[in-house]
Structures are given as C-alpha cells and as structure tokens.
Amino acid sequence: MANIVLGLGSSHGPTIRTPPDQWHRLAEKDMEDPRYSYEALMATARPGLEQEVTPEKMQERYDACQRGVGAVQRVLADVAPDVYVVISNPHGVPPLNKMYPVFGIYLSDEDSTIARTGHQSGGRRGDRPHEDAPGVDDYPTDTGLADQLMDSLVADGFDVACAFQSRSGAGVEGPFTYLYDVFLPDRSVPIVPFVISRYLPNQPTPARAYAFGQAMRRAIEGWKSDARVAIMASGGLSHQILDEELDREVISALRTNDDEILTSLPRERLNRAPGTAEILNWVALAGAIGHLPMTLVDYVPCYRSRAGTGHGVTFAYWR
C-alpha cells in the first residue's frame, strides 16, 4: 500500500519572489484592489504599522522568506517522495457561465482508467492547449493516484468534480505548479493537482475541508502501490489583508492538530481578505497528515503598507 511520507505547507505569491525594494508596487496594487476598501483599512489600522514597512524591515522579511524556501528545498531533497498531491485553488476572477466546484481533481485524458460516459476523449480541436504553445512547460502527472483519489473520495461520500485533462494549459499552472517553480525546478516528480474552492458561495466549511483531508488520507493509504506520497498545501496564510492573530492561531492549531479549532475557524474571518481563505488548504492538509509531527520552518508577517496589507508567509512540513 502507498505510504504518506511528507506533508508540506507553503505560501505562494509575489511577496516571496519580489525584491523588497519593489514591494511598494505590490502596495500600490493593494490600494487599488476593488475587493475591499483601502481607505477603511487605513482608518482602522493599528498604531505603529509605519514601523513595519521600513526598507530595513522589508529586507529582513524578504531574506527570511528566502531562507524558508531553502529549508524546504533541503527537506524535499532529503525525503524525495515519488509523487505529490498539490492542494490549491484556481486564481483570478471566475468567469461567467462556467461552473466552479467545491472540490475537484485533474485526471489524465489519455491514461485515466476511470470508466466514463458522455465524454469524448481529447475533445474538439481547439479545446486543448497547443502542445507547442510558447511559454507553457509540461509537467508529469500520476494517473494511477489521480484515479485512486477520484474513485475512493466519491465512494467515501465526497462529490468531486473532475477534468479529464491535467497537462499544462489546462488551468493548473501557478498555484499548482508552484512546487516546480520554486522548490523542484527540474519538474521530474509527478503531481496530482487537487482543487479546493476559496470563493464564496461555493467554499467548503473548515469542518468539511478537514474531513476531506481525512478522506484523502484513507484514499492514499488504500492505493495498491508502493509509492511514497507527499501532500502539499499551496497558498495561505492571510493575505491581502494581513491578520497575524488569525495566522498564529492557525499555526498553533496545526502544530497540535487541534481539530476543534481547525474545524471551527470563523468563515467571516477567513473571508475578510480575498486570499485568506487559502487557509482551508492547510486545514485539509492537517486532516490528511495530522498523524505526523509538524515542523514550522518560519512565519513571516510581510507587511507592505501602513494600512496593514501584506502576506503572512508561512513554511512548514510534516514528516
């Protein structure tokens, strides 16, 4: 049977890879973000935030992020899993006239062994990205694990959407391939991209996300393979409005696998800022990996404006 050998949680986003002397550009975007009122944030900002956005403080936190990336790279090299399940969210504004699932998985069109009806393999020409499209890199996927997750999760009572296409260009770049972009640039280890919606109203409750993680663990451990599996939560913690109090509460609960706290996080707090609901990825990860001890690599509250906008950059692993 397959064995879960590693859990990984990592923030993603421009804060980690943008030089600190350019963070003011990120702050300028925060000021114009239509999803919240920057003026209201300024009016209620806690005293002393100006000390959090000095050039020296930004450089210090950028350097801490780079050390965190390096520490995670060393862990991945040491454990060397055979496959990663990457839990993350589609990004950008959901287009009209397109369904978005609460949970979803990308299968391989050609290689999936799951029986299906009403599906034309490959689709019409033009439905798929051109294989030679400039700037699009392919990546390996593990069809066997994807199929196992699909079958097992549905049997376990989770209504999981699927796309019979997991190649590059199918909507799984960015947050799902962040593992390759930052930690495994040779793209040699296969991934299985798994979607959890961060958008309201089709957003799972924390309790449902945690239960889903538990079901994922059962699915992986029931897979008839000797593969060594890692599960990654890509995204989080709080952003674009930084909420240190919430972040530290979540980290404390993750360390002790306190399912009571993790499953009762207030939804209004998770949705105070557009990106903060990515904490649900970590909640699901905890459900799947809580049997292993957690090591917090670092928590770096990267403020980028006097209004308190920024990113609670976090790196952690379970092994």
Distances (CA, A) of 230 to 87, 145, 305: 11, 12, 36
Three-state secondary structure of 74-137: HHHHHHCCCEEEEEECCCCCCCCCCCCCCEEEECCCCCCCCCCCCCCCCCCCCCCCCCCCCCCC
Question: What pLDDT was estimated at residue 90?
Answer: 79
42, with CB counted inside 10 A (0-12, 13-18, 19+), is middle
Average per-residue pLDDT in the chain? 89
| Span 184-201, pLDDT tens digits | 888 889 999 999 999 899
| Span 59-89, pLDDT tens digits | 999 999 999 999 999 999 999 999 999 999 8
For the cut 60, the answer to whether the pLDDT of residue 124 exceeds it is no
The lowest-confidence range among 21-30, 52-61, 98-107 is 98-107
For the cut 60, the answer to whether the pLDDT of residue 285 exceeds it is yes
Instruction: Taking residues 141-167, report their average pLDDT.
Output: 90
Instruction: Taking residues 11-38, report their average pLDDT.
Output: 92
For the cut 50, the answer to whether the pLDDT of residue 129 exceeds it is no
pLDDT band at 145 (very low <50, low <70, confident <90, very high): very high
Instruction: Taking residues 132-140, report their average pLDDT.
Output: 57
For the cut 50, the answer to whether the pLDDT of residue 133 exceeds it is no
Question: What pLDDT was estimated at residue 163?
Answer: 83
Instruction: Taking residues 307-315, report their average pLDDT.
Output: 96
In order of their start, the domains of the chain are: 3-115+136-318 (3.40.830.10)
| Span 198-237, pLDDT tens digits | 989 999 999 999 999 999 999 999 999 999 999 999 999 9
